[in-house]
Structure 1
Amino acid sequence: MNITKNTTGIESVILTSPDPQAAAAFNEAAFGLGARLQVRAGDAPTSGFRGFTLSLVVPGPSTVDSFFESALAAGATTVKPAKKSFWGYGGVLQAPDGTLWKIATSSKKDSGAATRTVDDFVVLLGVEDVKATKQFYIERGLTVAKSFGSKYVEFAAPAESVKLALYGRRAAAKDAGVAPEGTGSHRVVFGGGLGTFTDPDGFEWETLA
């Protein structure tokens, strides 16, 4: 495992949806992430696994349950019920717009009451070649926080920004509890200061004004 320092990160995850008002209303009611999560109009064809999941890392199991409850009340469906695992406690939801959300904690027991605190907001990309995509992002200014060979990479990010992580596509789909097959648009754009480009797996980035 390698640990280094980073000076850049994703400032905003921008989802595209045929009904942006409904998607934005769901996101606010379910998660309340503010400017870090935005929605814009877009109806590019898509089917199956879109190649990414959005993850919220929270303090404890009761907070996982709290986010599950608010998301389900707002219209999400359960893909993987929240439960204990070797790594902690968590589960996966699918938003009405099709976005997959993993809500998890490394803690198996609560040390206090449920909160709405999010320790980390993470974008996990399921990519074809982890090593090649890792190098692509290093060349654009990101630095590595964790690296486990060709299996998993996590880039460091400033406080309050969104972390970026890479996983093999099949592994990412398995972790989310869905089939790896999928075609068409990812229906997501990442905004920040890295520039405007498309990565090797077709994920789009743009510079925020």
Structure 2
Amino acid sequence: METIENVTLAVADPEAARRFYTTAFGLGPQIALRASDAATTGFRGFTLSLTVSQPADVDHLIAAALAAGATALKSAAKSLWGYGGVVQAPDGTIWKVATSAKRNTGPATGRIEAVVLLLGVADIVASKRFYVEQGLAVAKSVSRMYVEFEAGSSPVKLGLYRRRALAKDAGVPPEGTGSHRLVIGGRAGAFTDPDGFEWETAALRTEV
């Protein structure tokens, strides 16, 4: 089964980005960085989400990100599905921090339970078919609105969302041009999906 081993963000200043992600989120090898000056404007067509256990952790991580230089796109707030907020890292990547819980059960730990990559696509049905043909297994599919794939032991979960809906959820206009500034590392080889998202072969993780 095809899975994601890591996500590479193409950034103008890898060292500055590394300092931000270490300080703000404490992310490990699931997020890699690569120098790039590829032209990009507006919404890049994807978001990354950090799932945590309770609202206190949402507030903790968003505060850390803002202190490290992120920009607030959506303040953390309650919703029908839980509690969450959205920030944009200095390199331009949009991050959502969220929990399905509406109440705290203890002090904030800052522990991240899952990293989720959401790709904004033009045609959910066509993109779902494409990814199934590449070896991904569907875990959940909601009409023509959302698709979630099986993650297995992968450190990053993958989902598909309509581009306009994803931009709205992130709090930004849907328009954007140029590079996605994203490369997805998988196990089954290199390919480019219908919306221009690039995959490359990633080395398998070694458990220690």
| TM-score, length-scaled by structure 2 | 0.95
Instruction: Give how far 1:53 is off.
Output: 0.3
Q: Which amino acid aligns with 1:139?
A: E
| Partner in structure 1 of residue 89 of structure 2 | 95
Q: Is the 8 A contact 1:8 1:158 kept in 2?
A: no
Q: Is the 8 A contact 2:2 2:134 kept in 1?
A: no
| Partner in structure 2 of residue 11 of structure 1 | 5
**Which residue of the other structure, out of 29, 33, 36, is the alignment partner of 1:35?**
29
| TM-score, length-scaled by structure 1 | 0.95
C-alpha separation between the residues in 2 aligned to 1:160 and 1:142?
A: 12
- 1:135 aligned onto 2:129: yes
Matches within 5 A, 1:100-119: 100-119=94-113
C-alpha separation between the residues in 2 aligned to 1:194 and 1:119?
A: 25
Matches within 5 A, 1:72-83: 72-83=66-77
Could you say what the CA RMSD is over the residues aligned between the two structures, in angstroms? 0.9
C-alpha separation between the residues in 2 aligned to 1:49 and 1:206?
A: 22
| Partner in structure 2 of residue 67 of structure 1 | 61
C-alpha separation between the residues in 2 aligned to 1:36 and 1:161?
A: 6
Instruction: Give how far 1:160 is off.
Output: 4.8
Q: Is the 8 A contact 2:2 2:187 kept in 1?
A: yes
| Partner in structure 1 of residue 206 of structure 2 | none
- Identity across aligned pairs (percent)? 61
C-alpha separation between the residues in 2 aligned to 1:194 and 1:50?
A: 25
Q: Is the 8 A contact 1:190 1:205 kept in 2?
A: yes
Instruction: Give how far 1:8 is off.
Output: 3.4
**Which residue of the other structure, out of 150, 165, 190, is the alignment partner of 1:196?**
190
Unaligned runs of 5+ in 2: 204-208
